[in-house]
Homo-oligomer: A and B are copies of this chain.
Amino acid sequence: MTAPIAPLTQIMREYADPSACPVRNVLDHLGDKWSVLIITALAHRPYRFGELRREIADISQRMLTQTLRDLQADGLIEREVFPTTPPSVEYRLSPMGKSFVVPLSAMVDWAFEHFPAIKEARAEFAKAA
């Protein structure tokens, strides 16, 4: 199982400026506290703002708005306003967002599968120290 990632040296050389490196640029954005959770929710069906707020119980309204805006700016989600009273807003994954679910779910599966081993490793490491 040789690593299929391009050599780091090459990547680092090509994208000396971290903000220009695709990996660091994209993954840093998605590595925040809420993006993955929101995308996971939207992977199942479109959600309205309030629904998401209730679903992700411990997110603040401020961060929900902000993270949704960032994901929308990156083109991962689409926002649609319905002129009802009161106006309701629906968020859904864009095609690109849906394509992101594939590698994301691979990571999620990995996390579930190896979580016990990681917990054990942490306990052993703490014991050794």
Contacts and interface: CB of A to CB of B under 8 A. Distances in A.
A74 B122 contact: yes
B3 A101 contact: yes
A74 B121 contact: yes
Interface in A77-129: 96, 98-112, 114-115, 117-118, 120-122, 124-126
Tallying the copies of this chain within the complex gives 2
Contacts of A41: 8
Contact of A26 (B11, B23, B111, B120): B111
Please classify how large the interface on chain A is, using the bins under 10, 10 to 19, 20 to 34, 35 or more: 35 or more
A73 B40 contact: no
A111 B29 CA distance: 11
Contacts of A72: 125
Interface in A1-46: 1, 3-5, 7-9, 11-12, 16, 18, 22-28, 30-33, 36-37, 40-41, 43-44
